[in-house]
Amino acid sequence: MQHRTVDRLALVLGSTYLTAALIFAWASGLEAHVPPAAPARTVQPGAHPDIEDGARLWALHCASCHDADSLRHRLTARTGVADPAAQLRTFLGGHGPASDTEDAAITTWLLAPPQRGP
C-alpha cells in the first residue's frame, strides 16, 4: 500500500514540475517578441561636445541624483581652484557610467554661462 502512495506522489510531483517548467518556458518566450529599445545617442569620440549634448547627457546620467544648479554654484563659488573643469572631469571620471567624451560634454554644459531668455 505504501509503495503505491509513493509512486502516485512521484507521478504528481513530476507532472507538477513538468507543467511548471513548460509554463515558465512559454512565459519567458513572450519577452523575446518585444523589440529592443533604441540605444541612447552618445557623443562620438573626438567630436567637440556642445551645450545641448551636455544637457542631454546630464539628464541621462546625472539628473536623477544630482541638482545641476547646486553643483554649478559649488564649482563657481570655490576660490583658489585653478581649474574647476579639471576638478569636475576628475570627479565625473570615477562617478557614473558616462565615457570621457560624455564627461567633457557634461563639464562644458555645467561650466557654460547660464542661458538668458529674450
pLDDT class for 33, splitting at 50, 70, 90?
Answer: low
Q: Quickly state the pLDDT bin for 35 (edges 50, 70, 90).
A: low
C-alpha cell read off for 9: 506522489
Nearest to 90 by CA among 52, 81, 57: 81
Task: Give CA angle at 63 (95, 104), nearest 5°.
Answer: 55
Reported confidence tier of residue 91, pLDDT bands at 50, 70, 90: confident
Q: What angle do CA 45, 48, 52 make, to 5 degrees?
A: 105
**Per-domain residue ranges for the chain?**
2-33, 51-111
CA–CA dist 72, 111 (Å, integer): 7
